[in-house]
Amino acid sequence: MNGRFAPSPSGDLHIGNLRTAVLAWLLARGTGRGFVLRVEDLDRVRPGAEQRQLDDLAAVGITVDGPVVRQSDRRESYAAAIATLAADGRVYECFCTRREIQQAASAPHAPEGAYPGTCRNLTEAQRASRRAEGRRAALRLRSDARSFTVTDALVGEFTGVVDDLVLQRTDGVPAYNLAVVVDDGFQSVDQVVRADDLLASTPRQAYLAGLLGVEIPEYVHVPLALGPTGKRLAKRDGAVTLRDRLAAGQTVSDVRAEIASSIGVPSERTRESLSDLASHWSLDLLPREPWFVLGH
């Protein structure tokens, strides 16, 4: 079984992304798992970003087992998963605009953050009428749960909203929540390490995994890296990518040591390789508060 890192090639990885990748790698190696990489390129892709990301991961010492998987190569797998759900009566067309969903979801009776089911029980005539108006349909899951509970290694039990989540967008692109579940099953991922801002979406993914017969992984949602203002780390915060740091005179070893220090590695050991760190680092050492990064 495997741990994984799954970046989107929309730009260079910042030091917070690299930190999450290091944590995922250390936890996988420390628990005897393989480690796989997936490029989530179904959405915004910046030319050259994927190779720069792969180069940066290799530079800090992250090794990968097996070939890199790209979501753009796996559309047939997502279509097959939707077909499986549809055969069970679990898929329906949704013609709602984003504004209509926001307005309906703000009603007093609607669970916070949940799709209110506007299109769930449309008749065929109603669906045909919307198509005739030129409306394009997304595909949604017909869920039979309103919430689902997952267990996280840091947070403990977490119960979140499960609604009729989108499986395929109106432009025909598979939705993230579907693709990530299908791909984790394909790559034998049973340990998911990612930033804790993604925790809220995890019950939806775990519920969907159960419907698709995919093993629900062990989750570890780690504290975010934040910029000096307390907002999520971004390019606006200065020299936050590996290339930025190298251009400013730092070495790869300096950056890796900074990351190691941020995850609780004792100061006398921060210069060790990731392979050496994996032999003695454990999740117990990880600080539970966000990591504030100062741009250099």
Whether 267 has a binding-site annotation, put simply, is no
Whether 40 has a binding-site annotation, put simply, is yes
Whether 287 has a binding-site annotation, put simply, is no
SS (H, E, C) the chain: CEEEECCCCCCCCEHHHHHHHHHHHHHHHHCCCEEEEEECCCCCCCCCHHHHHHHHHHHCCCCCCCCCEEHHHCHHHHHHHHHHHHHCCCEEEECCCHHHHHHHHCCCCCCCCCCCCCCCCCCHHHHHHHHHCCCCCEEEECCCCCEEEEEECCCEEEEEECCCCEEECCCCCECHHHHHHHHHHHCCEEEEEEEHHHHHHHHHHHHHHHHHCCCCCEEEEECCEECCCCCECCHHHCCCEHHHHHHCCCCHHHHHHHHHHHCCCCHHHCCCCHHHHHCCCCHHHCCCCCEECCCC
Are β-strands 91-94 and 156-161 bridged in parallel, bridged antiparallel, or unpaired?
Answer: unpaired
Whether 86 has a binding-site annotation, put simply, is no
Cα–Cα dist 278/172, whole Å: 42
Whether 50 has a binding-site annotation, put simply, is no
Whether 8 has a binding-site annotation, put simply, is yes
Of the candidates 135, 232, 235, 243, the residue annotated as catalytic is 235
Whether 94 has a binding-site annotation, put simply, is yes
Q: Which residues are paired to 225 by β-bridges?
A: 291
Structure tokens at 96: 């709602």
Catalytic annotation on 235? yes
Whether 235 has a binding-site annotation, put simply, is yes
Whether 195 has a binding-site annotation, put simply, is no
- Whether residue 40 contacts residue 6, with contact meaning beta carbons closer than 8 Å, is answered with yes
Annotated binding site for L-glutamate: 4-8, 40, 176, 194
Annotated binding site: 4-8, 40, 94, 96, 115, 119, 176, 194, 235
Annotated binding site for ATP: 235
Q: Which residues are catalytic?
A: 235
Annotated binding site for Zn(2+): 94, 96, 115, 119
